[in-house]
Structure 1
Amino acid sequence: MKVTLISHWCFNILKKIGLFLLIVFSIVYPIFSDALERNSGWRDLPFVENAFSDVVLESEFSSGLTPALKWENPIKVWVKHDVGNEELHNHLLSLHLQQLRKLTGLSITKVSKRYEANMLIFFTKQALWKDIVRREMGEKSAENTYGSTCMFNIRSERSTSRIVQAVIVIPVDQAREQGKLVSCIVEETTQALGLKNDSDRSFPSVFNDHTPDIFLTPLDITLVKLLYSPEVKAGMNKTTLKPILIRRYKEMQRNGELDEIYSQSIYSPLRQYLGM
């Protein structure tokens, strides 16, 4: 009888605890979910303007602002594999390129011959990557391999600021060791579109080295869509861009495009494939 009473008492206590946790969860989850969606002001125009300036108009390896760089011609991707898991790496890359194609409106296709390509992607190993970077990007870039997990380089026409070539080098063993293989694919290919600078002020973002994000965040998607708005032309400076960005951002607010960006982040093809 005593055992039965104790069991009944324990059951009631556990039931009350469970009910309490359920109530707490029902209160906290909507708040947390809303905070996640609106995190750090990507819906705030001044915040987005600053992030655009930091990521698009500044450069990791030079001081001062640069003109906007962007692709205006079709991107043709050639991939070189120096390591195994070729099928997996191709699939991960294809899924992310699928998202970039949709966000930018660019034609992005793979080609089988190097001479046909204007975007070269090397899946290699740590023992080879510095030599590849030196050969494909130059000595100055090779010096920056120390402390880097993976690298990209873009070349643009001096007269127009249109991007004409990109090179991405991913030492797979090194990236896997640091848990950054997917992050390298996402960040380097996106930066090769002209979002060329990392920024601690952009949060949350794959362009911020101090955040754990490995997929494009709502802020990142907003920046990509703004850069690849038809009104934004390669070579535009900050002063010229300001009214265009404001007008385009407000248009995205009015037509509901901004409301779709959160879903585009959460349900990206790559993220869905990885179940994350």
Structure 2
Amino acid sequence: MTRFSFCLFVLLISSTALSQERWQTDAYIQQSFIKIALEREYKETQFPKLIRWNKPIRLFFESDSGDARLQKELLSVHAQHLASITGLSIDFTPNPKQANIFVIFTDYKNMENKVRQYIGDPEKIRTALNEAICLGNFTRNGRYEITKGSIIIPVDYARSKNRFLDCIIEEITQLLGLPNDSNEVFPSVFNDVSVDTYISPLDYLLLKALYSRHLTPGMDVEQTQAAFPNVLKQLHANGDIENAVQRVQKYSLKKYLGD
């Protein structure tokens, strides 16, 4: 009887371990968060700091290319998905003076003009302009709070690369404070070689962590690592890690489109 009970106990432990994906482990979540939140894709940052929004987001939408109604519909669904995950208030405004994120849909030939209008000198982001399919740019204040962002999507070019939907999802998600891409983080929309178009369960956890009350803008890598056990504890207590596969779908664009 004792031997049988021991074998059954071992079997249950093994079954539980096998049911947990790699991305659900505490170490992998923390490692992924540091890489995506505290590193930068197009410039070296010697002393990276945590950044995020601390005020409501107001989106200004503009389109001079493609189906503007569909573009705004897709953007709206995804924005509300992000709001539900992070707790941020995200809404549209028709007044550009009230906006703090500008989302521009245009043609590839107009990219540099739109960069000049909404971001600044194209030469300052020349590498990104030459390499990226779509662009996202943000500014922050001295407290490392994001205060403004711009997203420019060349509709014709993005569609020719089969990345139109990816651009909408990835760029605004990154503008919330997860600015880096890494092929070491999987599954994730922040992985350039991944086939993920929609926010993955791991991305859901990274967003939850970013807006955890245990983290604050301006934290460096060491401070973030020191605080992260409390972030993980909160995620476990809320059931977010264990139920991420189901929870990431609530209000998602993937569910909305029936994919």
Work out whether 1:127 is the aligned partner of 2:109. yes
For residue 83 of structure 1, give the secondary structure of its aligned residue in structure 2: coil
Work out whether 1:80 is the aligned partner of 2:62. yes
The answer to whether the 8 Å contact 2:144/2:217 transfers is yes
Q: Which residue of 2 aligns with 1:118?
A: 100
Shift, 1:140, TM fit: 1.6
Distance in 2 separating the partners of 1:227 and 1:91: 26
Larger Rg: 1
The answer to whether the 8 Å contact 1:133/1:141 transfers is no
The answer to whether the 8 Å contact 1:57/1:66 transfers is yes
Shift, 1:273, TM fit: 2.0
Work out whether 1:62 is the aligned partner of 2:43. yes
TM-score (norm 2): 0.88
Return closer, same or farther for 1:129/1:135 CA change in 2, 3 Å cut-off. same
Distance in 2 separating the partners of 1:55 and 1:257: 19
Q: Which residue of 2 aligns with 1:71?
A: 53
Supply the AA of the counterpart residue of 1:51.
Answer: S
Work out whether 1:148 is the aligned partner of 2:132. yes
TM-score (norm 1): 0.82
Distance in 1 separating the partners of 2:156 and 2:70: 14
Work out whether 1:222 is the aligned partner of 2:205. yes
Note the alpha carbon deviations across 1:113-170, whole angstroms, 9 max, x for none. Answer: 111100001011111012212332232224422231101001001x200000000000
For residue 109 of structure 1, give the secondary structure of its aligned residue in structure 2: strand
**Aligned Cα RMSD in Å?**
1.8
Distance in 1 separating the partners of 2:127 and 2:43: 15
Compare the two structures and name the one with the higher helix fraction: 1
Shift, 1:38, TM fit: 5.1
Distance in 1 separating the partners of 2:180 and 2:81: 20
Segment drifting more, 244-253 vs 186-195:
244-253
The answer to whether the 8 Å contact 2:102/2:118 transfers is no
The answer to whether the 8 Å contact 1:78/1:117 transfers is yes
User: What stretches of structure 1 of length at least 5 have no aligned partner?
Assistant: 1-33
For residue 167 of structure 1, give the secondary structure of its aligned residue in structure 2: strand
2:218 to 235, 254, 257: 235
1:105 to 87, 101, 121: 87
Q: Which residue of 2 aligns with 1:264?
A: 247
Distance in 2 separating the partners of 1:270 and 1:58: 27
Give the number of aligned pairs.
240
Please give the residue correspondences for 1:42-61 in structure 2 after superposition, counting only pairs within 5 Å. 42-61=23-42
The answer to whether the 8 Å contact 2:143/2:217 transfers is yes
For residue 66 of structure 2, give the secondary structure of its aligned residue in structure 1: coil
Distance in 1 separating the partners of 2:250 and 2:99: 29
User: What stretches of structure 2 of length at least 5 have no aligned partner?
Assistant: 1-16
